[in-house]
Chain A
Amino acid sequence: MSNQSPKRIIPIKLERKTSLSADDQKAVHDSCARLKALPGALLPILHDVQSALGFVPKDAVVIIAHELNLSRAEIHGVISFYHYFRTEKPGRHVVQLCRAEACQSVGAVALEAYAKRTLGIDFHGTTADGAVTLEAVYCLGNCALGPSAMVDGRLQGRVSPERFDALIAAARQPS
């Protein structure tokens, strides 16, 4: 290019308005501070934020982008690629139902229909009382004892409709 003028640096300001509480902001900053020196730090940070907050809020992305010197678009691209990361607050309990072949062979399709009907939600939905979010999962490595589900990170095998009801009832119990 001809007529080169000295590069003007446009200062980038962090958005001041955020929907995150002070505690949540601190949690995101802490995750970044602890993990950002790792090679390939983005996934560990996203995992850490999701396990602290239950999801990766849009405003957390702003902080992570700043800390890792990445664009928000890049981080959005990563979050949206992976099924596990979510950007909306889930219910108090997350129930993952396995949809894969081994579970299909022992009734997973019927269980899925039963779960959606009794909870009144589709996959990725949350019940009206905010208790349960239903997610699909493709194999939990429990293929000889299906149908399988995972409730709040705990594997459950041989999930009949009756057992599903019991698991949901237990999850809904105030702890």
Chain B
Amino acid sequence: MSITKIFVSGDAAARGVGADETAAAIMALAETRGIGIQLVRNGSRGMLWLEPLIEVETAMGRVAYGPVASGEVASLFESGFITGGAHRLAHGLTAEIPFLKNQERLTFARVGLTDPQSLQDYLQHGGNRGLAAALKMQPADIIKCVTDSGLRGRGGAAFPAGIKWKTVLGASGAQKYIVCNADEGDSGTFSDRMLMEGDPFVLIEGMTIAGLATGATRGYIYLRCEYPDAHRALNAAIATAYSNHYLGADIQGSGRQFELEVRLGAGAYICGEETSLLESLEGKRGEIRFKPPLPAIEGLFGMPTVINNVITLASVPIILDRGAEFYRTFGMGRSRGTLPLQLAGNIKYGGLIEKAFGLTLRQVLYDFGGGALSGRPIRAVQVGGPLGAYMPESQFDTPLDYETFAALKAMLGHGGMVVFDDSVDMAAQARYAMEFCTIESCGKCTPCRIGSVRGVEVIDRLCAGESPAKQEVLLRDLCETMIHGSLCAMGGLTPYPVISALNHFPEDFTA
């Protein structure tokens, strides 16, 4: 009897809409019918509106069916889906679905294709080639490769990764650290989560390479506790990496050491700010630190520390494997390589889109996204998380590029895009931005701690029509103070969504 390989994603988002039940139904019916199958719980392909997505391996390639609720599984068997049979939920070959076909997947090359916990799958799909290359190189050459690739921090600040690493290489300390910022707290973002669940070995590989490049022998992944699935995936993959000598005292017989551990956050948004994260890792309140000193000089436990986002570190292996030139051919201007975009909110086809920098917001929203889920016009898009600007239709032709966004007083950030249709009340969104800051401010600096509270009050008065002209002046002045007077991006960027909402949608701020 031949065995058919069937894929049902084990990603948390897929599980959240019933993938476990669908997988169980497939197993049960295959057994009843005496059909031999091998069920693989892969990462998500990122076409989240199709979850639970079932893929069947055929001679032609993998055939997709979705979204398949557990109650639909029987009809799939009736239709002969085991051999790729026709069905109203069939989408043909997965790789030919335009949403996926039109992407450029480098960092997410394996996500959705492989069994995330199979080291063998990982190696067969190009895994650990970057590490093998790095093990033959001098630290300075690894760093040169990362610098030449143009890779910038994908967490939001877009600082060149190679320069950060070089500082740590040059700093002296008894112990150096690689810290992965996996505190993906921005609403509208989930690429870190998908990557950690869908291809955890690539993050381990990237961090190990960072260790080889800087002389750091110890690493921590600071993971938000809202991601229990990613926690399990990382811990299991780390254990496998240790037992196969991809981590530990003697990596692949090189005599080089790298130890790695996951630490959980505890629901504080501010701990995504790098210095606050380091405080939290040290077991303290996550209050931000003054800079300087930079974490690269005095970071975790006062030692030189590389701190990078998940996607930054996970992009390193392919750069080492394929070379800096390969990576930098993607992108535009000073934004090189690809960005895994996350299309979210009120959108018909939401999910993960990895593309070279340079495509426009409109292409993402309509060519990939298919417009609003509600079928109504898209009125605003918040790009870059809760601290990012709300962008109106008139800015939809902006190309995705760090500098172009900055010039508009917007930010690309971690690549999250939250779509709102025309039923949105932009004054309520502005108020929420301030309210969120009151809840999540670490409290260290006054503009953020007090300013956000005052911000909520001023917006309430403005919208209640209490001498609105005066309130608007006050609100803008308060925002200026927060932008220039806050210690970190929390207070410094909260005004972005507020001011952009006020500038582009003033009609919503009336009584």
Contact of A101 among B16, B284, B351, B432 (CB under 8 A): B432
Q: Tell whether B286 is near chain A: CB-to-CB under 8 Å.
A: yes
> Taking the complex as formed, is A46 at the interface, i.e. its CB lies under 8 A from any CB of chain B?
yes
With A85-B266, A102-B188, A105-B418 already in contact, the answer to whether A41 and B350 are too (CB < 8 A) is no
CB pair B285–A102 under 8 Å, yes or no, is no
- Contact assessment for A44 and B184 in the assembled complex, using a CB-CB cutoff below 8 Å: no
Q: Once the chains bind, are B284 and A42 in contact (CB under 8 Å)? A: yes
A104 on interface, CB distance cutoff 8 Å = yes
Interface residue? B185 (CB, 8 A) = yes
Is the Cβ of B283 less than 8 Å from the Cβ of A155? no
Interface of chain A residues 149 through 173 with chain B (CB within 8 A): 150, 153-158
CB distance from B434 to the nearest CB of A (A): 13
How many residue pairs at the A-B interface have CB separations less than 8 Å?
A: 155
A131 to chain B: which residues have CB within 8 Å? none
| B418 and A82 within 8 A (CB) | no
A84 contacts B12, C-beta separation under 8 Å: no
Q: Report which of A42, A96, A142, A158 forms a contact with B283, defined as CB distance below 8 A.
A: A42
Instruction: Determine, out of B132-140, B226-234, B331-339, the stretch whose residues face the partner at the interface.
Output: B226-234
Question: Which residues of A sit under 8 angstroms from B51, Cβ to Cβ?
Answer: 145
Contact indicator B188/A143 (Cβ below 8 Å): yes
Q: Is B453 an interface residue (CB 8 A)?
A: no
| Docked-complex contact B266 and A139, CB < 8 angstroms | no
The answer to whether B294 has its CB under 8 Å from any CB of chain A is: no
B424 lies within 8 A of chain A by Cβ: yes
Against A, the Cβ 8 Å flags (1 = close, 0 = not) of B176-219 are 00000000111111101100000000000000000000000000
Quick check: A102 and B345 within 8 Å, CB to CB? yes
Complex CA–CA separation, A141 to B284 (angstroms): 25
Q: Flag whether A144 is at the interface (Cβ < 8 A).
A: yes
Instruction: List CB contacts (< 8 Å) of B354-393 with chain A.
Output: 373, 382, 386
Across-interface contacts of B189 in A (CB, < 8 A): 139, 141, 143
A1-55 CB contacts (< 8 Å) to partner B: 39-44, 46-47
Q: How far is the CA of A158 from the CA of B268 in the complex (A)?
A: 24
Cβ of A106 under 8 Å from chain B: yes
CB closest residue in chain B, given A158: B17
On whether A144 and B48 interact (CB within 8 A), knowing A101-B429, A105-B419, the answer reads yes
Asked if residues B284 and A143 are in contact (CB atoms below 8 Å), the reply is no
Chain B residues with CB below 8 A from A104, complex form: 429, 432
Q: Is the CB of A143 within 8 A of B225?
A: no
B343 touches A139 (CB 8 A): no
Given contacts A42-B283, A85-B266, A141-B193, contact A105 B424 (CB under 8 A): yes
Which A residue's beta carbon lies closest to that of B390?
A101
**Most chain B CB atoms below 10 A, which of A83, A105, A158:** A105
Closest to B51 in A: A145
Bound complex: CA A83 to CA B347 (Å)? 30
Name the one of B16, B226, B287, B373 contacting A139, with C-beta atoms under 8 angstroms. Answer: B226
Is the CB of A146 closer than 8 A to any CB of chain B? Answer: yes
Beta-carbon nearest neighbor of A78 in chain B: B285
Chain A residue at minimum C-beta to C-beta distance from B416: A143
**Distance A144 CA – B370 CA, assembled complex (angstroms):** 13
Interface contact B285-A145, CB-CB below 8 Å: no
Question: Which residues in A have their C-beta under 8 angstroms from that of B263?
Answer: 40, 43-44
Collect the chain A residues with CB atoms within 8 Å of residue B429's CB. Answer: 101, 104
Contacting A at CB under 8 A, from B39-96, are: 48-49, 51
Q: Quick check: A148 and B16 within 8 Å, CB to CB?
A: yes
Q: Is A140 an interface residue (CB 8 A)?
A: yes
B170 at the interface (CB under 8 A from A): no
| Choice from B187, B225, B267 contacting A100 with Cβ under 8 Å | B187
Contacts of B265 in A (CB 8 A): 43, 82, 84
Interface string of B386-411 (1 = CB under 8 A from A): 10000000000000000000000000
Interface string of A88-125 (1 = CB under 8 A from B): 00000000100011111110000000000000000000
Q: Establish whether residues B48 and A40, one from each chain, have CB atoms under 8 Å apart when the complex forms.
A: no
Note all chain B residues with C-beta closer than 8 A to A138: 185, 187, 267, 269, 436, 439-440
Given A78-B283, A144-B350, A145-B17, decide whether A139 and B229 contact each other with a Cβ distance below 8 A. Answer: no
- Establish whether residues B186 and A145, one from each chain, have CB atoms under 8 Å apart when the complex forms: no
Question: Is the CB–CB distance between B16 and A145 below 8 Å?
Answer: yes
A39 nearest CB across to chain B (Å)? 6
Contacts of B228 in A (CB 8 A): 153
Q: Closest residue to A77 on the B side, CB-wise?
A: B285
Do A106 and B12 touch (CB < 8 A)? no
Q: Which residues of A contact B (CB under 8 A)?
A: 39-44, 46-47, 77-78, 81-85, 96, 100-106, 137-146, 148, 150, 153-158
A-B contact pairs, 11 of them (CB 8 A): A44-B263, A101-B188, A103-B187, A105-B345, A106-B346, A137-B226, A138-B436, A140-B226, A141-B13, A144-B49, A144-B350
User: Sorted from nearest, which 4 A-B pairs have the closest CB atoms?
Assistant: A144-B350, A100-B187, A143-B344, A42-B283
Further pairs besides A101-B382, A104-B432: 16, Cβ < 8 Å: A40-B281, A41-B283, A43-B265, A46-B266, A47-B266, A83-B267, A105-B345, A139-B187, A141-B13, A143-B188, A143-B342, A143-B418, A144-B350, A145-B49, A155-B229, A157-B13
